[in-house]
Amino acid sequence: MLELGYLWSKYGVMLLSGLVGTLGFCIFFHVKKDKLIYGCIGGMISLLVYFFCIECGMNDFFQNMFAAIIATLFAEIMARVVKAPSTVFLIPAVIPLTPGSLLYYTMEAAVEGDAQMTKYYGQKTGMVALGIALGIVLVSAIFYQMSHKNVEMKVKLGNEKRKGFETK
């Protein structure tokens, strides 16, 4: 079992910088003050899941996919609880997962003309981005289907009530 002191020394600074970065993006995207804390919590949750996946030995794709799945679940649930669009919570929650350094190294290698390193970093960046996108799409599709079925059922029931009312 992992020691809390070990985890804090390994991930504490990254967790705090992720919190500050998420807060900055929330302010930049004009997230309302009453929803600011939820955006920051989403960023922290996605980072915690990401660090857990690292400790489990998963590869880059699965680390980011599972973190994005949890972040999207958080965003969809908070959207229903707080009565706000899910993107208000989703964007800040996935900001800490963005492959900024990998993209930087990809571009640096491309500018220097190092084709082998460009390919290496480009593939890693693509896998991270694909993992994030797949995690978001999987959860969003499920929530869309659930809400679409709910709306479809309400419309169907509303039409049946109107039909019954017109015939009487």
pLDDT at 92: 93
Total number of domains in the chain? 1
| 31-to-19, 34, 36, 68, 83 alpha-carbon distances in Å | 15, 8, 6, 20, 14
10-residue mean pLDDT profile of the chain (168 residues): values are: 72 89 91 91 94 93 97 95 92 92 94 96 96 96 83 65 56
Whether residue 3 is contained in a domain is answered as no
10 Å Cβ neighbour count for 92?
A: 30
Q: Does the predicted model carry a pTM greater than 0.85? A: no
Domain that holds residue 16: 10-167
Quick check: is 88 in a domain?
Answer: yes
Please give the pLDDT value at position 146.
85
Residue 139 lies inside a defined structural domain of this protein: yes
Judge whether 5 lies within some domain.
no
Kindly state whether residue 58 falls inside one of the protein's structural domains: yes
Residue 115 lies in a domain: yes
Is there a domain that residue 1 lies in?
Answer: no
**Residue 132 covered by a domain:** yes
